[in-house]
Amino acid sequence: MKRLSPGLMLAGLGMSAAISLLMLFAAGVVRPIALSAACLFLASLMTWVPIREEHAYLFASIEYAFVSGAALIICRGSVWTYLYILLFGAYAIIRFYLRTHIDDRFLTVLIRLLIFNVMSAVGLAFAQFVLHYDAMTLVPHLSVYAVFGIVQGIFIVFMLLYKFFAYLFDSALRNILLPRR
């Protein structure tokens, strides 16, 4: 694969950060939960833009840190911003790291689910103790095990959709949006 010029790499990084921030802002403004979840998904997908280039971890980490910090300032108090920071924003970095260092796909899926479970517990503790928000009151008629199963199902669907759209971006859009020299 040909290399990108530094200017094009910064332009792609800025484009993906701006779209991520716009999607996080839209997730906080839009009322139907399905549209907000779709905006969160698109915001997390934008981290995939710089991850496949040279110095991938550096550029993707810069994009993730910038979007997280800017979203905290612009979209303060939005639960979607906290979900992006704690769970979905760094998913591309984790996915790419596991794919390049572990050959067994089943093991990488299990590790990603484990990381998601740990970050979900951290997110629930953050909501409970820092934000003083009891997230379990949203589902008062379900047991903890049912909520756990639903959350696992949501993340598995997220992983499958993410894989499909990352493949679509890599095969069809990457060379159009970021032309090589």
Global pTM reads 0.78
* CA-CA-CA-CA dihedral for 132, 136, 138, 143, to nearest 10: -170
> Could you tell me if residue 142 is inside a domain?
yes
100 part of a folded domain: yes
* pLDDT at 48 (0 to 100): 79
Instruction: Give the pLDDT of residue 27.
Output: 85
Q: Does 1 map to a domain?
A: no
Q: Give the model confidence (pLDDT) of 104-138 as tens digits.
A: 889 998 998 888 888 888 877 877 787 777 766 76
99 within domain boundaries? yes
Rounded Cα distance between 43 and 24, Å, is 6
The pLDDT, as a whole number, for residue 55 is 67
d(CA 112, CA 175): 29
Encode 85-118: b = buried (16+ Cβ within 10 Å), e = exposed. Answer: bbbbbbbbbebbbbeeeeeeeeebeeebeeebee
User: How confident is the model at residue 31, as a pLDDT?
Assistant: 77
Residue 88 within any structural domain of the chain? yes
All residue ranges of the chain with pLDDT < 70 are 1-4, 53-55, 135-136, 138-139, 178-181
Residue 135: how many CA atoms within 13 Å on its side-chain side? 18
Looking at residue 139, what is its pLDDT?
Answer: 67
pLDDT of residue 149: 82
pLDDT of 89: 84
pLDDT of residue 98: 86
Enter the DSSP assignment of 138. Answer: G
> CA 28, CA 43: separation in Å to the nearest integer?
12
Among the listed residues 153, 163, 167, the one whose alpha carbon sits nearest the alpha carbon of residue 113: 153
In a domain, 141, yes or no: yes
| Total domain count, the chain | 1
Please state, in angstroms and rounded to a whole number, the distance separating the CA atoms of residues 53 and 4.
8
pLDDT for the residue numbered 145: 76
List the domain range (segments joined by +) for residue 143.
6-177
